Structure 1
Amino acid sequence: MEQTLYLILLLIALCSVSECVQRQYHFINVLKNWTEAQRYCRENYTDLATVDNMNDMNELKKSVNDGGVQFVWIGLQMGVYEWQWSSGDPVLYLNWAPTQPDGTECAMMRDGEWHDYSCSNSLTFICNSSNNVNTGLIFVNQTKNWRDAQSYCRQNHIDLVSVRNQNESQQLQKFINDSHISGDVWIGLFSVRDPWQWSDQSNSSFRYWKSSEPNNAGGVENCTVIEQKAQGQWHDYSCNYQFSFVCHEDKLILIKENLTWPEALRYCRQNHVDLVSVSSEEIQREVMNVVKQASTEAVWLGLHNYCSMNMWIWLSGEIVCYQNWAPGNGTTPEECRLEKRKGAVQSGGDQRWISLPETRKLNFICSRY
């Protein structure tokens, strides 16, 4: 009894000493354009480098072991905008001016064509309204940023104007001409996400732009480099330039085979390192990115019920310090000696941990390091 209590206390003390490295960075000192660098990383590692936080950024900078290199590709690239009408109308028609949109979030109308424009700028605007029976349009001769214009239209009329087809576009331009409206006006079109996307489709929102960047000089700077002499801060650059680059190799890998927990354990230890131990919130975030691709409702983790000590323990030897159990899970069942239970993570919803019989056949996550 005393020996068991001592072991429990020892394991609890270990809660504070675990560390997490989500991914390994590999500096490739070969000159390639961004697309060639992406292909190389996908063939030899996981992808061009993704960065989640400053810890990752510092690890990435350490990996660049050639002091003479000025710029280095990472995996951030200008993505495809997803535009949406404030009113919720489907986007079936677009009337952009040449070279537009070029990287900002809200849309305004100029000389019958649309331009994207910073939402924080102030312009006059046009609302859809039921008060004007002829056109259904109201011009508001007040300058507001896009969000304030949207609020004004919703409070006083219906919404910022939508343009669903060419006929409505022509009607809007006629209304502007007949009303002698000069200058740019807000319309209800806005982009619904950050236009920059990671090559590996990570949802990381971390950015480390240098002051005045990204500036999309010439309208062609769609890829990202780090500048070694500027603490690794980022610039947007034309993807056609040739630079060295950094690949990353994920710590975790999802295996889309349906195996029992003992079979999954054997597979990971033979082909990688082990079933994953989720000892911190940081590792859980990585797990959440990985399990989105699972083909089963839950995915095995390296978590097992240690009946003799009445506790759950990770294969890494740690007890469950960081907690992410779904309600009703994580307590040691009385019948655990009759039915061995192991820990899995839900692949949908809140992606919480659940207790399941080890004979269930599920996808699983292996650790590579």
Structure 2
Amino acid sequence: MGIFLSGQKVCFADLKHPCYKMAYFQELSSRVSFQEARLACESEAGALLSLENEAEQKLIENMLQNLTKPGTGISDGDFWIGLWRNGEGQTSGACPDLYQWSDGSSSQYRNWYTDEPSCGSEKCVVMYHQPTANPGLGGPYLYQWNDDRCNMKHNYICKYEP
């Protein structure tokens, strides 16, 4: 049984689009912290996923849906993306504005789940992927974003510029 179910890069026919890699680990013990995920992407000349707009968000959602078709073995497990917040002791009002993309992207696109980001000690962002969870106030815990503690262990998505 392979632990690393999905590590292949997905590229598109034209060379104008980035390539992506979904790193999904069925074994919880194999999942990684934000920094480990960031370094893993950078070690392959990529970066943790930055999202430019809703079209790119939908593209990633479609790729995850293809990964999670019945029988693939992929179930719950959030994915780190490259959004994180720097700085200590910030007032919560300013907090959402303090998030930045680790690859230097200036994209202002955000897809927070209801009541997120909660800020505080949670500084690194995941894309929810919990198909078996009961929906919350903001609907299913699927594809929207949540800030989490950076040392939590998750899957991750890399992006490789053309």
Instruction: Report the TM-score, using the length of structure 1 for normalisation.
Output: 0.32
Higher helix share: 1
Q: Would the aligned equivalents of 1:76 and 1:197 in 2 still touch at CA under 8 Å?
A: yes
Structure 1 runs of 4+ with >4 Å offset: none
- TM-fit CA distance, 1:62: 2.9
The corresponding residue for 1:50 is: 50
- TM-fit CA distance, 1:242: 0.5
- For residues 214 and 20 of structure 1, do their structure 2 counterparts lie closer, same or farther at Cα, with a shift above 3 Å needed? farther
- For residues 35 and 236 of structure 1, do their structure 2 counterparts lie closer, same or farther at Cα, with a shift above 3 Å needed? same
Q: Distance in 2 between matches of 1:71 and 1:102?
A: 27
- TM-fit CA distance, 1:60: 1.6
Q: What are the superposed Cα offsets for residues 241-276 of structure 1, whole Å, 9 maximum, x if unpaired? A: 00110000112xxxxxxxxxxxxxxxxxxxxxxxxx
The corresponding residue for 2:78 is: 71
Q: Would the aligned equivalents of 1:45 and 1:247 in 2 still touch at CA under 8 Å?
A: no
1:204 aligns with 2:107: yes
The corresponding residue for 1:41 is: 41
Greater relative CO, 1 or 2 (CA 8 Å, sep 6+): 2
Gaps of at least 5 residues in structure 1 are 1-18, 81-98, 106-115, 117-192, 252-369
Aligned residues: 127
Q: Distance in 1 between matches of 2:101 and 2:55?
A: 18
Look up the SS of the partner of 2:97 in the other structure.
coil
**Aligned Cα root-mean-square deviation (Å):** 2.3
Q: Distance in 2 between matches of 1:243 and 1:225?
A: 8
Higher strand share: 1
- For residues 45 and 60 of structure 1, do their structure 2 counterparts lie closer, same or farther at Cα, with a shift above 3 Å needed? farther
- For residues 200 and 104 of structure 1, do their structure 2 counterparts lie closer, same or farther at Cα, with a shift above 3 Å needed? same
In the TM superposition, 1:70-149 aligns within 5 A as 70-80=77-87, 100-105=89-94
1:194 aligns with 2:97: yes
The corresponding residue for 2:123 is: 222
- For residues 232 and 220 of structure 1, do their structure 2 counterparts lie closer, same or farther at Cα, with a shift above 3 Å needed? same
Q: Distance in 1 between matches of 2:76 and 2:44?
A: 22
1:213 aligns with 2:116: yes
Instruction: Report the TM-score, using the length of structure 2 for normalisation.
Output: 0.70
The corresponding residue for 2:136 is: none
What residue identity is the alignment partner of 1:75?
G
What residue identity is the alignment partner of 2:83?
L
Q: Name the % identity.
A: 24
Q: Distance in 2 between matches of 1:210 and 1:250?
A: 27
Look up the SS of the partner of 2:76 in the other structure.
coil
Q: Distance in 1 between matches of 2:36 and 2:45?
A: 14
Look up the SS of the partner of 2:59 in the other structure.
helix
Q: Distance in 1 between matches of 2:115 and 2:63?
A: 26
Q: Distance in 2 between matches of 1:44 and 1:20?
A: 18
